[in-house]
Amino acid sequence: MSLLRVFPGANDKELRLRQLINYVIASPEKQVWQGLFFEKTPNMVRASGVPAEGTTEEILMSFLLPHMAYGYPGTRLCYHCLLDFNGLLGANDAGFIAWEINEYLMQYGIQFLQGVHITKSKGAVFWPHVHVLINSIVLYGPNRGRKFRLEKPVLRGYKEYMNAVLKKYKLPVIPVYEGGGNDEITNSET
């Protein structure tokens, strides 16, 4: 079964955001799939509104500047999500399909960063999955400067959009409503 998970936590500190950015873009052990290091391939790290090929500091400043400009420092800086395709896709395909799913976020005028990783457990390699960092400030459109909240209606729309993309590629869909076993929030990071 495919999965969309939102990790808990306020992510309200610059240090935490820096750690998440490093985790998404720069963890070398997370960027090897079937013996190939895939850091520079286009589908492995992609972004909207932030420099996907930038340094950690450049991406960090891209995420922080809207908070400073619109007066929201000290509040939630980002959301951290996981898209998992249960081992049915290779690394490049996971990045490509995740990007198509994350096009849903573009309608809100927010920045986001996605990076493909592989799942490791006690040294074993299982399959590619995608981590997504979503900025919590709207940068474009009529709500520019307001806080973006990944609340139930937005999350439901995200899941419905994800399911449409998954069906297009004949992949297992996810439950859209709570209680379907897929709205679990976890403290562990894969």
pTM of the predicted structure, to 2 decimals: 0.85
User: Across all residues in the chain, what is the average pLDDT?
Assistant: 84
**Residue 183 pLDDT level (bands cut at 50, 70, 90):** very low
Mean pLDDT, residues 75-83: 95
Query: Given this model, what pLDDT does residue 37 score?
Result: 57
The per-residue pLDDT for range 19-49, each reduced to its tens digit, is 999 988 865 555 555 565 555 566 688 999 9
pLDDT of residue 36: 57
Q: Encode burial over 40-61: b for 16+ CB neighbours within 10 A, e otherwise.
A: eeebbbbbbbbeeebeeeebbe
Residues 104-127: pLDDT tens digits?
999 999 999 999 887 666 666 668
As a whole number, mean pLDDT of residues 148-172 equals 95
d(CA 149, CA 9): 13
Q: Give the DSSP per-residue string, 155-170.
A: HHHHHHHHHHHHHHTT
Helices 152-168 and 91-106: angle between axes, nearest 10 degrees: 140
